[in-house]
Structure 1
Amino acid sequence: MELTLIALTPAGPVAVRPPDRRRIIDLLWAAAAPGERLEHVSVQVRPHGIRLGLFTVATPGQTAGAAALAICRRALASSPPLSGWHIAGEPSLRQDAIRHKTQQEHP
């Protein structure tokens, strides 16, 4: 199981009110496909951004990080409460916006 950290920021200069933490967790679970092996979701809602921690398991066809990003992108595209938010660093996905941590890095 790996942790993928994803930062969400408002898509525009006007402040967008984020949904509450529990709602975001529910939206991410609803967006997850069974094959993506989502295990746990952590959310921190801050005044100018949202921090997501998605714990997923790699499969033969997909890395854990790719599964987490797919879940997040699907939730953003299909959930009205998340309209106005995007993944920080897209499309280049800056390394400071998304990091992968394995159990080996954090025993």
Structure 2
Amino acid sequence: MALLRLCPGPDARISTPSPEIVADILWAAAVPADGLEHIRARHGPTPTAIDLALFHIGSEAETVADIALRLCRRAIDAAPALAGWTATRIPLGTHYDAVQTEQVPHLRDFLPQFGNDHHRSR
């Protein structure tokens, strides 16, 4: 699993796409080599940020975070709705449920038992 945050840069479109639209854009940009299995997307700590949890089949050549960043950058380059956006990693602790919520805002919201988010699986 990789946690990422998409944020608009200074040249980004004015309107922020919904988390559901961002998940659809990522699926459209995914290729089999990405090994993408599942996406969870929700609004981030600011009104324009989108936080993502991307679940992949493991890869020996690259880390899951590298694959997720490459996918997000491919989606940003391909989708007009994300033109001018940036993708950055959200730090992940040793254990998913042990990360302090102060360190990663909204992290617990990615867990199914906490809050509503938009998720898609293949």
TM-score grouping bracket, smaller chain normalisation: 0.7 to 0.9
Contact preservation (8 Å) 2:42, 2:50:
yes
CA contact (8 A) 2:12 2:82 kept: no
SS of residue matched to 1:51: strand
- Aligned partner of 2:8 in structure 1 is 10
Which consecutive residues of structure 1, in runs of 5 or more, have no partner in the other structure? 89-96
Given candidates 25, 28, 32, the residue that maps to 2:26 is 28
Q: Please name the residue that 1:98 is paired with.
A: 90
Give the deviation of 1:19 after TM superposition: 0.9
Distance 1:48 1:33 in 2: 27
TM-score normalised by structure 1 residue count: 0.74
**Closer, same or farther in 2 for the Cα pair 1:16/1:53, shift >3 Å?**
farther
Provide the C-alpha distance between the structure 2 equivalents of 1:33 and 1:22, rounded to a whole number of angstroms: 19
Cα distance per residue 1:40-84 (max 9 Å; x no partner): 111112513111111112212222111111110100011011113
Q: Which runs of 5+ in 2 are unaligned?
A: 98-122
Match of 1:93 in 2: none
**Partner Cα separation in structure 1 for residue 20 and residue 7 of structure 2:** 18
Higher strand residue share:
1
Moved over 3 A (4+): none
Residue 43 of structure 2 is matched in structure 1 by 45
Note the alpha carbon deviations across 1:69-106, whole angstroms, 9 max, x for none. 11101000110111131124xxxxxxxx433467xx14
Question: How many pairs does the alignment contain?
Answer: 95
CA RMSD of aligned residues (A): 2.3
